[in-house]
């Protein structure tokens, strides 16, 4: 075990830090520290420009392999990249679904043509993506999707019909990846296909849903014979579940370390308030601040273990499997701590009618962290069944 | 950066696991904990003569293995899994650490060589009676006279204090207070004026004693570094010992999870394994989250300890990593042991079942050298009260 970074890696740290210092300034000054979870609707146009700036500098897809246009950074350098990005106050990336999910999914499962068609556009920040998994009847039980995909021989295209819900940033996206049923007689995880569907077409109707924050990052999306080309299916009809699950695995990658630096920024903000308003002398608040600090440090050590690879006793998989449950719970507690540090001030919003402060958004939005991407209960089921080998939950007979 | 065991470290862990499976099973533990010493002499001889573990991080030139803290915690984790009863912790994690951190060159040469070569045991005694683990708890005094240094007072909660050959004592200069006036001294257990009383403990796998000092004269050569100003050194020794304790806790937290998972897969009620009930599954998942996170905190702290012992890291980094590990692992072990008892039902409440041994060790190690609240407050001082 060795904690220190090599000289090369430290030199790399210099280069990304100075690039950020130079570029994240001027017109981008106001989007520093903005656009994270709960704040994703803010400064969208400016953040899109920032995505182009990053792309010009070659700072998108840093972990993608070189042959797919990425920077092919080592794990260490990816860690450094994400650390420096967050330290500099780099704004929430408008292209994060494409870069973090669609890209790795296509690299793993897509055809050469699909890779050539889509990857460069993601790297350039030109095409944004959203995730069309959940439906009214298929949340935790994702395999219960009803949306249908029918191949139309006349037009040589797939036609998608059904309803998706909770689709984040659909209103800003050019493409959506959709799981839909290719075999109308199938049930459960069989008979599904994985589709790449353009959003700008008459068959797609996007209706914003207002969240408890008052804002609308997510939407209902209605597909009414929405079309995508014959080659916009990833894998074969029937492979949808495999691709969908593979994609979820990418959510636990290196970018988690970048996320942790955002958490660190939030934590620092709360500490600064506590020092200023006297909460820092309240013994219970002190305990909770220290507890949050411990939790965040260990989150990092967990990731470092995951990223450093297996140790031959299966513990790699375990440290990866607890990740979502761990961070979502920690973050939710942080939101609560923020309110309790603020005291009565916690109630006062930024401006009328309902423009919330950053910490109010944190408090409210972290309630979603324990729901999306597999709820905490589903995470516990997965850990118990896959890591500990306990009996599986009852499932429909088709499985 | 490489945050995983090297192949050699894996080998050390695996060797420890298989050796302990043989010599430290439930029966061996129960026998050792019931004898007066609290350990089995022949096992200690095997550890010191065959395995040479006690010399794990003693420098090579003094006859040690010259390995690091990561190797040490790899062994301790396995001992925690097996509830191993031995003077390993007191000798290596208190004695050797104290000598390495606060010993003069001559003291290291003499005493580390004795420990490495002869398997002599050692411990650290520093607190008075009470519930604190800070400098204020030190109330044994030392007095400088023209005839030399004399120690007076009573030291409590001394791990293996009734069996250790070598005592390392923290005392304060008569009339001093707080972190001022602290000195460290080496005293052979048989010195005149020293008497120790073994105490019955709830956790029978970790023995404690009270040691009384009545005008005990200390040889001038046995006054350790920075006498009168040794609190920072003692504090670093304690931090190293906290990391070692966290290793024991991590091993225990993992082991009770395994025992529980095995049991709830087998035990059937309502016509199915109790492990199929979601209330059980979710508790087991929460236990795994804690066991895995405890490991991460532990391994990180061990790396920091290595840096510190190599003269590269600072005492502040050591303190932070130790407090994080001790706070987290203490709660993780106790949480897991408590859940394990509940999930075993009545059988877990019996003397015959080993769970109570883990449950008690979880509580005793949780208190030892500061519980989670103590360490959170210590961290809060670093985060909130540090001068900016
Ligand atoms: C802010 C936000 C953004 C989102 N963005 C997207 C997106 O971009 N794309 C997308 O496809 N989806 C998105 N989602 C949807 C998200 O993935 C689902 O909300 C989630 O999977 C839970 O499904 P559900 O809402 O139907 O809840 P349900 O599945 O109905 O769950 C209700 C409750 O029952 C519990 N439960 C369900 N099954 C079990 C079980 N087997 N054992 C124990 N407890 C169980 C759950 O834990 C939960 O507490 C988003 C959600 C939120 C809140």
* Span A282-333, pLDDT tens digits: 999 999 999 999 999 999 999 888 878 755 566 667 878 899 999 999 999 9
Q: pLDDT of A91-127, one tens digit each? A: 999 999 999 999 999 999 999 999 999 999 999 999 9
Q: With contact defined as beta carbons under 8 Å apart, do A91 and A34 qualify?
A: yes
Helices then strands, counting H and E runs in chain A, come out as 13, 8
Distance (angstroms) between ligand 1 centre and the Cα of A368 equals 9
pLDDT at B138: 97
Q: What are phi and psi of A154, to 5 degrees?
A: -60, -50
Q: Which of A4, A379, A390, A395 to mutate to test the interface with B (most CBs of B within 10 A)?
A: A390
Q: Can you tell me which atom of ligand 1 is nearest the CA of A211?
A: 1
Distance (angstroms) between ligand 1 centre and the Cα of B175 equals 65
CB-CB neighbors (< 8 A) of B261 in chain A: 388-390
User: Closest-CA residue in chain B for A376?
Assistant: B282
Which residue in A46, A76, A220, A251 is the catalytic one?
A: A251
Residue A180's beta-bridge partner residues? A193
ipTM for this model: 0.94
Q: Can A251 be counted among the known catalytic residues?
A: yes
Q: pLDDT of A10-61, one tens digit each? A: 999 999 999 999 999 999 999 998 888 777 778 999 999 999 999 999 999 9
CA distances from A284 to A288, A397, B325, B376 (A): 6, 51, 20, 10
Q: Do B383 and A271 touch (CB under 8 A)?
A: yes
pLDDT at B387: 67
The angle, 0 to 180 degrees and rounded to 10, between the axes of the packed helices B315-344 and B231-266 is 30
Q: Which residue has the tokens 């204020």?
A: B136
Reduce the DSSP state of residue B130 to 3 states and report it.
Answer: coil
Q: What percent of chain A has pLDDT over 70?
A: 96
Return the higher-pLDDT residue of B46 and A254: B46
Q: Are strands A218-229 and A157-168 parallel, antiparallel or unpaired?
A: antiparallel
Q: Which of B300, B329, B336, B373 to mutate to test the interface with A (most CBs of A within 10 A)?
A: B300
Reduce the DSSP state of residue A109 to 3 states and report it.
Answer: helix
Q: Which residues contact B162 (CB under 8 A, 6 or more apart)?
A: B36, B37, B196, B197, B198, B207, B209
Mean pLDDT in residue range B173-193: 97
Q: Are strands A175-181 and A129-132 parallel, antiparallel or unpaired?
A: parallel
Q: With contact defined as beta carbons under 8 Å apart, do A218 and A286 qualify?
A: no
| Encoded tokens for B78 | 């396995």
pLDDT exceeds 50 at position A399: no
Q: Do A305 and B296 touch (CB under 8 A)?
A: yes
B281 vs A301, A305, A390: nearest CB: A390
Q: pLDDT of B294-352, one tens digit each? A: 999 999 999 999 999 999 989 999 999 999 999 999 999 999 999 999 999 999 999 99
Domains in chain A, CATH or no CATH each = 7-94 (1.10.540.10), 129-237 (2.40.110.10), 252-387 (1.20.140.10)
pLDDT at B59: 95
Domain ranges of chain B: 7-121, 124-222, 231-385
Confirm or reject CATH 1.10.620.20 for domain B7-121, answering yes or no. Answer: no
CA–CA distance, A33 with A263 (Å, rounded to integer): 11
Q: Do B4 and A310 touch (CB under 8 A)?
A: yes
| Encoded tokens for A164 | 């998706």
Name the residue with the closest Cα to ligand 1, atom 23: A139
Poorest-confidence range of A311-315, B262-266, B282-286?
A: A311-315
Q: Can you tell me which atom of ligand 1 is nearest the CA of A164?
A: 11
Distance (angstroms) between ligand 1 centre and the Cα of A378 equals 9
CB-CB neighbors (< 8 A) of A315 in chain B: 292, 295
Return the higher-pLDDT residue of B88 and A394: B88
The DSSP element (H or E) to which B82 belongs, if any, is helix B69-82
CATH of domain B231-385: 1.20.140.10
Name the DSSP letter for residue A345. Answer: G
Of B162, B9, B168, the C-alpha closest to B104 is: B168
Name the residue with the closest Cα to ligand 1, atom 38: A140
| CATH class, B124-222 region | mainly beta
């Amino acid at each position: 075990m060795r904690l220190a970074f090599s000289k090369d890696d430290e030199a790399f740290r210099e280069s990304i830090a100075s690039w950020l210092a130079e570029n994240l300034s001027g017109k981008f000054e106001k989007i520093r520290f903005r656009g994270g979870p709960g704040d994703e609707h803010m400064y969208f146009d400016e953040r899109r420009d920032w995505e182009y700036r990053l792309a010009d500098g070659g700072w998108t897809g840093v972990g993608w392999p070189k042959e797919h246009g990425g920077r092919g950074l080592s794990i260490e350098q990816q860690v450094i990249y994400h650390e420096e990005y967050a330290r500099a106050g780099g704004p929430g990336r408008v292209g994060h679904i494409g870069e973090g999910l669609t890209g790795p999914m296509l690299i793993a499962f897509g055809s050469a043509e699909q890779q050539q068609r889509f990857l460069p556009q993601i790297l350039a920040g030109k095409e944004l993506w959203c995730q069309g998994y959940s439906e009214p009847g298929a949340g935790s039980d994702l395999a219960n999707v009803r949306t249908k995909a029918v191949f139309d021989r006349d037009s040589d295209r797939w036609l998608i019909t059904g309803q998706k819900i909770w689709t984040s940033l659909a209103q800003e996206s050019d493409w959506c990846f959709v799981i839909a049923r290719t075999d109308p007689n199938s049930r459960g995880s069989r008979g599904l296909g994985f589709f790449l569907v353009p959003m700008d077409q008459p068959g797609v109707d996007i209706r914003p849903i207002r969240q408890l924050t008052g804002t609308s990052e997510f939407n209902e999306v209605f597909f009414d014979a929405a079309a995508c080309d014959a080659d916009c299916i990833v894998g074969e009809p029937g492979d949808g579940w495999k691709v969908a699950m593979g994609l979820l695995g990418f959510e636990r990658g290196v970018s988690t370390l970048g996320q942790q630096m955002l958490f660190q920024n939030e934590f620092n903000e709360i500490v600064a308030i506590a020092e200023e308003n006297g909460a820092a002398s309240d013994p219970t608040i002190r305990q909770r601040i220290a507890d949050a600090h411990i939790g965040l440090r260990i989150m990092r050590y967990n990731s470092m273990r995951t990223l450093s690879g297996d140790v031959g006793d299966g513990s790699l998989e375990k440290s990866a499997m607890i990740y979502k449950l761990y961070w979502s719970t920690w973050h939710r507690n942080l939101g609560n701590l923020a309110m309790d540090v603020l005291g009565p001030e916690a109630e006062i919003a930024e401006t009328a009618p309902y423009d919330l402060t950053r910490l109010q958004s944190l408090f409210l939005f972290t309630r979603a962290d324990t729901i999306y991407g597999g709820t905490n209960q589903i995470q516990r089921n997965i850990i118990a069944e896959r890591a500990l080998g306990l009996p599986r939950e009852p499932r429909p007979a088709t499985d | 950066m490489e945050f995983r065991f090297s192949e050699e470290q894996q080998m050390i862990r695996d060797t420890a696991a298989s050796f302990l499976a043989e010599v430290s099973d439930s029966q061996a533990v129960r026998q050792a904990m019931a004898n007066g010493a609290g350990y089995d002499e022949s096992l200690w001889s095997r550890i010191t003569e065959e395995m040479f573990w006690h010399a794990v991080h003693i420098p090579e030139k003094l006859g040690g293995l010259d390995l690091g803290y990561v190797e040490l915690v790899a062994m301790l984790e396995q001992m925690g899994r097996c509830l191993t009863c031995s003077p390993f912790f007191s000798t290596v994690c208190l004695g050797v650490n104290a000598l390495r951190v606060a010993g003069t060159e001559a003291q290291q040469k003499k005493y580390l060589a004795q420990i490495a070569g002869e398997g002599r045991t050692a411990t650290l005694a520093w607190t008075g009676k009470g519930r604190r683990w800070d400098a204020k708890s030190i109330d044994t005094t030392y007095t400088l006279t023209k005839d030399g240094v004399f120690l007076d007072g009573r030291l409590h909660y001394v791990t293996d204090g009734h069996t250790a050959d070598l005592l390392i004592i923290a005392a304060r200069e008569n009339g001093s207070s707080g972190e001022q006036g602290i000195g460290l001294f080496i005293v052979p257990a048989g010195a005149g004026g020293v008497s120790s009383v073994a105490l019955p403990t709830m956790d029978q796998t970790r023995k404690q004693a009270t040691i009384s000092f009545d005008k005990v004269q200390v040889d001038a050569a046995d006054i350790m570094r920075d006498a009168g100003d040794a609190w920072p050194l003692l504090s670093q020794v304690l931090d190293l010992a906290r990391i070692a304790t966290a290793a024991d806790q991590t091993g225990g937290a993992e082991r009770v999870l395994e025992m529980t998972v095995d049991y709830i897969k087998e035990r059937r009620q309502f016509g199915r394994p109790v492990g199929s009930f979601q209330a059980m599954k979710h508790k087991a998942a929460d236990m795994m989250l804690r066991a895995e996170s405890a490991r991460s905190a532990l391994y990180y702290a061990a790396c920091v300890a290595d840096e510190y012992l190599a003269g590269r890291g600072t005492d502040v980094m050591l303190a932070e990593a130790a407090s994080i590990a001790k706070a987290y692992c203490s709660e993780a072990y106790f949480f897991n042991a408590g859940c394990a008892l509940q999930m075993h039902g009545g059988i877990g409440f019996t003397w015959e079942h080993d769970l109570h041994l883990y449950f008690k060790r979880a509580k005793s190690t949780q208190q030892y050298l500061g519980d989670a609240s103590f360490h959170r407050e210590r961290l809060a001082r670093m985060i909130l009260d540090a001068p900016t």
